[in-house]
Amino acid sequence: MKVLITGGAGYIGSVTNACLRQQGYETVVFDNLSLGHAQAVGDTKLIVGDLRNREDIDRVFTQDAFDAVIHFAAYSLAGESMEKPYEYYDNNLRGALNLLEAIRRHGNPSIIFSSTSAVYGYPDKIPVTEEARIAPVSVYGSSKCMVEEMIEWYGRIYGMRYVNLRYFNAAGAMPDGNLGEHHTNESHIIPLALEVAVGKRKRFEVYGKDYETPDGTCIRDYIHVVDLAYAHIQSVEYLAKGSASVALNLGVGRGYSNLEVLETIERVTGRKVSRIFASRRPGDPAKLWADNTKAKGVLSWEPKYSDMEIIIKTAWKWHTEHTEGYK
């Protein structure tokens, strides 16, 4: 089977590409490299282009026929989205619409969409099921919600089949240390804390210590990036069988507090992570973790790497072997 991966030079996309190739899939990566890294693609065919340009993505489909498309390409920082709403809606919505039109005009391959738990906003109940109210509280979450709706309408009108995957917090790196997390402006807790551990940063800021949680800090569901990658592969296989379109939560089904994450980092690395407490960030719920029962049943999927210690060990290997990321 041949799979097109948009945003395949990014963090989750590059790991998914590597895992697909390990499983014998033929892949093509499409990325504008504004956030991704060509080095992360290896010897996979890389087409540099922008989804906002219809001609760019149409050209990809005229060159190759695909059995499935995995759509990662998007802006994905909730905080930034509140400062740059136009850029987020323009990039995430226009890019997705151009992709859906290209898919429709070129054989209608299935699509696996990289959505987010941010579509739920502040969930009423924890753990979060797929039946939870959709009520995003950021432009980022709103844009992902809208793309899910676009895909659903293309499914109803044109018979396009899809899996919308609502991620919780992706973390970790490939166990061999070859691929990992490298963002120009890092905002995620584990790489930021590891930068403190390796001496690139002086201290780690913990936002809020007065939440209604056991240690007062936010609790989140962290899923290993390899487990995420295999959920995409199993989604491709699920749709290849002719199975019905579906939306699924991808998480481990338990949460770790910010302090638990930092303590695990200190234990794994043997280094102190200096920290200071800052005020809460607007929009951060106290607790958020997934009910992943549906994904396990539908995809026959099971997280294998998502113990926090394994996540930290693989991320630490990446950070110590690639202190400057992909530079």
> Which H or E element spans position 220?
strand 219-220
- Helix 308-321 / helix 189-197 crossing angle, nearest 10 deg: 60
pLDDT on residue 15: 99
> Which H or E element spans position 170?
strand 169-171
pLDDT on residue 185: 76
Give the mean model confidence (pLDDT) for residues 197-224: 95
Whether the bond into 282 is cis, omega within 30 of 0: no
Of these residues, 140, 154, 167, 256, which one is catalytic?
140
pLDDT on residue 306: 84
Annotated active-site residue 140? The verdict is yes
- Are the C-beta atoms of 160 and 106 separated by less than 8 Å? no
What are the residues facing 154 on neighbouring strands? Answer: none
Tokens, residue 50: 């922008």
pLDDT at 283 over 80: no
d(CA 257, CA 97) in angstroms, rounded, equals 37
**Residues 71-123: pLDDT tens digits?**
999 999 998 999 999 999 999 999 999 999 999 999 999 999 999 999 999 99
Rg over CA atoms, the chain: 19
Residue listed under structure tokens 């295999």: 230
Give the mean model confidence (pLDDT) for residues 125-142: 97
The pLDDT mean for the chain works out to: 96
Q: Is the pTM of this model over 0.85?
A: yes
pLDDT at 161 over 80: yes
Alpha carbon 222 to chain centroid distance?
11
d(CA 91, CA 112) in angstroms, rounded, equals 18
**Residues 2-60: pLDDT tens digits?**
999 999 999 999 999 999 999 999 999 999 999 999 999 999 999 999 999 999 999 99
Complete domains list, the chain, with CATH: 2-170+222-250 (3.40.50.720), 174-220+253-321 (3.90.25.10)
**Of 86-95, 219-228, 315-324, minimum mean pLDDT range:** 315-324
